[in-house]
């Protein structure tokens, strides 16, 4: 399972839920995640990484992860980024394609530029655990 999308090693909690609210709360975030997954699984640059992925589980864990990163009422309960991505041979080009797909999903759902940048800034450090080649 590819993803900046997939998750951090430890539960993430942020006290201020204003960022979560700027994504539209639970329903808005679910739409962003659904569109992000649709983008990832239809993009020829990222689709191969999801061939053996349980999309149902991926969706649930991605919702948890993003909700926690955004300061929402969630705790991420999935595996570490390093564990999830260790055998995927993800390079910088694939990682960047994932980011583009996330930005497209946020744009489609009317997430403001500042909120997009805030989420991307929180996720960016994970690239060290995701890029494996």
- At 70-116, the pLDDT tens digits run 999 999 999 888 888 888 888 999 999 999 999 999 999 999 999 99
- At 10-19, the pLDDT tens digits run 344 444 689 9
- At 20-43, the pLDDT tens digits run 999 999 999 999 999 999 999 999
Quick count: other Cβ atoms within 10 Å of Cβ 83?
A: 13
Position 8 in a domain: no
Structural domains counted in the chain: 1
Instruction: For residue 35, give the CATH number of its domain.
Output: 1.10.490.10
Structural domain containing residue 58: 18-130
Position 12 in a domain: no
Q: What pLDDT does 6 receive? A: 42
Q: Where are the alpha helices (DSSP H) in the chain?
A: 18-22, 25-42, 55-69, 81-85, 92-108, 113-123, 127-130
Do residues 40 and 47 make contact, with C-beta atoms less than 8 angstroms apart?
Answer: yes
Position 28 in a domain: yes
């Amino acid at each position: 399972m590819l993803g900046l999308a997939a998750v951090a090693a430890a539960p993430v909690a942020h006290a201020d839920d204003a960022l979560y609210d700027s994504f539209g709360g639970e329903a808005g975030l679910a739409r962003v995640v659904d569109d992000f997954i649709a983008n990832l699984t239809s993009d020829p640059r990222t689709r191969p990484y999801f061939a053996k992925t349980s999309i149902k589980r991926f969706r649930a864990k991605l919702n948890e992860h993003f909700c926690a990163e955004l300061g929402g009422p969630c705790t991420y309960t999935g595996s570490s980024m390093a564990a999830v991505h260790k055998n995927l041979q993800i390079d910088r080009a694939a990682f960047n394609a994932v980011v583009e797909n996330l930005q497209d999903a946020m744009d489609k759902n009317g997430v403001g530029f500042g909120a997009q940048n805030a989420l991307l800034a929180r996720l960016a450090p994970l690239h060290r655990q995701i890029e494996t080649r």
